[in-house]
Every structure is written in structure tokens, then in C-alpha cells.
């Protein structure tokens, strides 16, 4: 695979990537996980190459500490959340993301820095610049798919799927984070390629839209 060209225009700066780094974002219950699984299978069949699927927080040491905090087993404040998510991200890029895209293996990632901008901005209003600054060393994805759905629809899906809820999983918070995502997609148009997809539609329709955006990005990789 050749070098990604179009991503440069929008600062998809995955270095000398031979394959794209694609991120899927959205509030809980938007359907990210289902979409990611289907996308992974379709890409392997469509392009005949391995695809690496991953997500944040990771299962590495910093990510595991964050998962404890999300389940309220460890109490940490907003500043610690922001710093740990950023540290987990750099560790993720260095240990897993860069090596795969540099070898020509597309990487699909469930959440990345847009999650920090949306969630930690909610925890620390007025601190978006600082949150962005601590993430400045994280490479930019070539494509971010934002699965957007009303908070009520997502909360209903979360309640039907499980009885417990994590930090950030209440209706007021989901609404605020959805607004943050939409605002960030608008503000970051010039720095990142972010596509908003209507996640309230049936999963099959959402997947068709997801694939169309991924195809457009994959087309910018030429053979050789």
C-alpha cells in the first residue's frame, strides 16, 4: 500500500502510514461496538488484508487504572482522568497503533482523543485548551466516524443491555457530551476529518454509511 495522501490535507498525520488509522466515536449506546465489529469483518473481506481493531481506555496498565475509576472502584478527580487518558493514548500509539499502520495494517479504534475532548471537557468546563494541549503529541486519525444519536435513544439501549451504569452514564451527562461531540466536530473541521453518521437509524443502514466513508479513505492508498 502507498502513502496516505488525502489525510495530509486534514492533518491525518499518522507519520509514514501505509494504512489508515480510523477512529469510531460517540456516546455510550450509540452503537459503536456493533459498527466496529461489522466494519472489521467487511474490511478484511473487501480488501483481503488483516485489520487491527483496538480501543481506549486500553487493557494496558494505565488503561486498567482508568477502567477501575470508570467503575467507581478508584476515586480520581477530573485532572487525573484527563492526564491518564492522554498518557494511556500515547502508550497505545507507541505500543500498538503506529507499528500496525506503518506495516500497512489498517487500525480501527473504539474511541481516541475526541473522547477526551468531549468527556473531559464536560468534567472540566473552561479547560478544553489544556485538554487539547496534553494530547498534542498523539497522532491524528485519518478518519473519525462520529456515530450520533439522541441521548434518550442511547440511555434506553444502555438500560436494556445491562443493569449497572458507569461514570458519565446518566441522561443529563449523555446529552451534554453529545452536544460537546457535535460542537467539536464543527470546530475541528480544519484539523481532522470527522464524519457524522446518524446512529438512530437501523444498524444495517448505519453500517452502509460507515463503509462508504471508509472506502473513500481506503481509495487514497494506492497499490505498491
- For the chain, the straight-line distance linking the first and the last C-alpha, in angstroms and rounded, comes to 5
Residues sharing a CB contact under 8 Å with residue 33, sequence separation 6 or more, in sequence order: 110
* Rounded CA separation 164/45 (Å): 36
Name the residue nearer to ligand ATM (CB basis): 134 or 217.
Answer: 134
Least distance CB 19 / ligand ATM (angstroms): 22
Cβ distance to ligand ATM smaller for residue 81 or 142:
81
- Minimum CB distance to ligand ATM smaller for 18 or for 116: 116
Least Cβ distance, residue 27 to ligand ATM (angstroms): 8
Minimum CB distance to ligand ATM, residue 87 (Å)? 11
Q: Which is nearer to ligand ATM, 92 or 142 (CB)?
A: 92
Task: List contacts with ligand ATM (CB under 6 A).
Answer: 28, 56-57, 70, 85, 111, 115-116, 119-120, 166-169
How many Cα atoms sit within 13 Å of 148 on the Cβ side?
20
Within a 10 A sphere around the Cβ of 149, how many other Cβ atoms? 21
Measure Cα distances from 39 to 6, 32, 82, 189 in Å: 21, 10, 29, 24
Residue 220 CB, nearest distance to ligand ATM (Å)? 26
Amino acid at each position: 500500500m502507498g502513502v496516505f495522501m488525502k489525510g495530509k490535507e486534514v492533518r491525518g498525520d499518522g507519520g509514514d502510514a501505509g494504512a489508515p488509522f480510523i477512529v469510531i466515536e460517540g456516546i455510550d449506546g450509540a452503537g459503536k461496538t456493533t459498527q466496529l465489529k461489522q466494519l472489521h469483518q467487511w474490511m478484511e473481506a473487501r480488501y483481503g488484508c488483516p485489520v487491527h481493531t483496538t480501543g481506549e481506555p486500553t487493557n494496558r496498565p494505565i488503561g486498567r487504572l482508568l477502567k477501575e475509576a470508570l467503575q467507581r472502584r478508584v476515586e480520581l478527580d477530573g485532572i487525573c482522568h484527563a492526564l491518564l487518558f492522554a498518557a494511556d493514548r500515547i502508550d497505545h500509539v507507541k505500543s500498538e497503533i503506529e507499528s500496525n499502520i506503518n506495516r500497512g495494517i489498517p487500525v480501527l479504534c473504539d474511541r481516541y482523543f475526541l473522547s477526551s475532548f468531549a468527556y473531559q471537557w464536560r468534567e472540566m468546563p473552561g479547560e478544553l485548551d489544556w485538554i487539547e494541549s496534553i494530547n498534542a503529541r498523539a497522532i491524528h486519525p485519518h478518519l473519525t466516524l462520529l456515530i450520533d444519536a439522541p441521548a434518550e435513544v442511547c440511555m434506553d439501549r444502555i438500560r436494556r443491555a445491562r443493569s449497572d451504569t458507569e461514570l458519565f452514564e446518566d441522561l443529563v451527562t449523555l446529552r451534554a457530551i453529545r452536544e460537546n461531540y457535535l460542537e467539536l466536530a464543527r470546530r475541528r473541521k480544519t484539523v481532522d476529518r470527522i464524519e457524522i453518521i446518524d446512529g438512530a437509524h437501523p444498524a444495517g443502514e448505519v453500517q452502509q454509511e460507515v463503509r462508504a466513508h471508509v472506502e473513500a479513505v481506503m481509495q487514497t492508498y494506492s497499490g505498491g
